[in-house]
């Protein structure tokens, strides 16, 4: 077990990078805080694994090992392996589609600000701030945005064009397509194993309100974004522009 390994090697501090998925239920969660309980049933094994990891890390907090859990919202920035590349690839095909109706909101955080939150949490623990140890914190650096509207501005500013300009698939239709995509992957599994990017979970995740703040991190260890929203966007766009 990794935690045993850390104890055996006399590691004093463990800042665990978790995910907002640890408490994701598939239902709207609006302006929640860290008191939000874990769901009785998670939407998938990834979400459940994050919750189990958080519990293990928190339970390991003791005199010889100080722990802290950080839950980033959707991380974006240079080299984003999950969101931006997929959207740019879709724009390159000449057919750009969004899911839902554009009203759902979720949280984001720039990768540099997320890294800075780790530094601040570790610094506070090293300096003896006992209010941080054994705690869990949401980390975000701005208000909620619609998933697609947020990333659209990065894709467009990076030099890519949308067509159709404003096509949104209704949630029910997108969910049906996601179900079909998963069914095809299941049928093909004996021949080729792959995880479909268009899934029911992806639809629910991008079409469901999930908002919170970093107020507790600000109060306990002084988290404030190191990079402004404008600077974060400029850095991200510069990276993707250079790849055209």
pLDDT tens column, 197-226: 788 999 999 999 999 999 999 999 999 999
Residue 82: band (very low, low, confident or very high) from pLDDT cuts 50, 70, 90: confident
Please state the φ and ψ torsions of residue 120, each to the nearest 5 degrees. Answer: -65, -45
The pLDDT of residue 191:
87
Mean pLDDT of 153-168: 93
pLDDT at 238 over 60: yes
Of the candidates 16, 38, 46, 76, the residue annotated as catalytic is 46
Residues 243, 240: Cα–Cα separation, whole Å: 5
Give first-to-last CA distance, the chain, whole Å. 43
The answer on pLDDT for 183 being more than 90 is no
Extents of the domains making up the chain: 2-241
Place 5 in a pLDDT band, splitting at 50, 70 and 90. Answer: low
pLDDT at 239 over 90: yes
Is residue 46 annotated as a catalytic residue, yes or no?
yes
- Average the pLDDT over 140-156 and give the result: 96
DSSP secondary structure of 139-174: E-SS--B-HHHHHHHHHHHTT---SSTT-EE-HHHH
Beta pairing partners, 70: 17, 137
The predicted model gives 135-149 an average pLDDT of 96
Instruction: Name the band, by pLDDT with cuts 50, 70 and 90, for residue 186.
Output: confident
2-241 CATH, one of 2.60.120.200, 3.10.350.10, 3.40.50.720, 3.40.1390.10: 3.40.50.720
Looking at the predicted structure, is the pLDDT value of residue 1 above 80?
no
């Amino acid at each position: 077990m990794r935690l045993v390994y850390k104890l055996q090697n006399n590691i004093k501090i463990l800042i665990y990078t978790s995910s907002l998925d640890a408490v994701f239920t598939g239902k709207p969660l609006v302006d929640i805080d860290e008191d939000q309980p874990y769901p009785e049933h998670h939407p998938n094994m990834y979400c459940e694994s994050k919750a189990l990891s958080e519990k293990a890390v928190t339970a390991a907090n003791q005199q010889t090992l100080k722990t802290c859990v950080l839950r980033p919202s959707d991380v974006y920035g240079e080299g984003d392996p999950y969101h931006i590349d997929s959207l740019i690839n879709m724009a390159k095909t000449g057919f750009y589609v969004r899911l839902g109706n554009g009203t759902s909101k979720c949280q984001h955080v720039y990768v540099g600000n997320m890294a800075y939150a780790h530094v601040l949490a570790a610094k506070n623990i090293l300096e003896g701030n006992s209010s941080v140890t054994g705690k869990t914190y949401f980390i975000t650096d701005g208000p909620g945005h619609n998933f697609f509207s947020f990333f659209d501005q990065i894709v467009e500013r990076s030099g890519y064009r949308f067509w159709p300009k404003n096509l949104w698939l209704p949630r029910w239709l997108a969910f049906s397509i996601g179900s079909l995509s998963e069914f095809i992957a299941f049928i093909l599994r004996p021949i080729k194993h792959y995880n479909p990017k268009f899934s029911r979970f992806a639809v629910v995740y991008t079409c469901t309100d999930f908002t919170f703040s970093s107020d507790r991190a600000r109060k306990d260890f002084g988290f404030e974004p190191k990079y402004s929203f404008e600077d974060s966007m400029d850095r991200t766009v510069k990276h993707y522009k250079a790849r055209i």
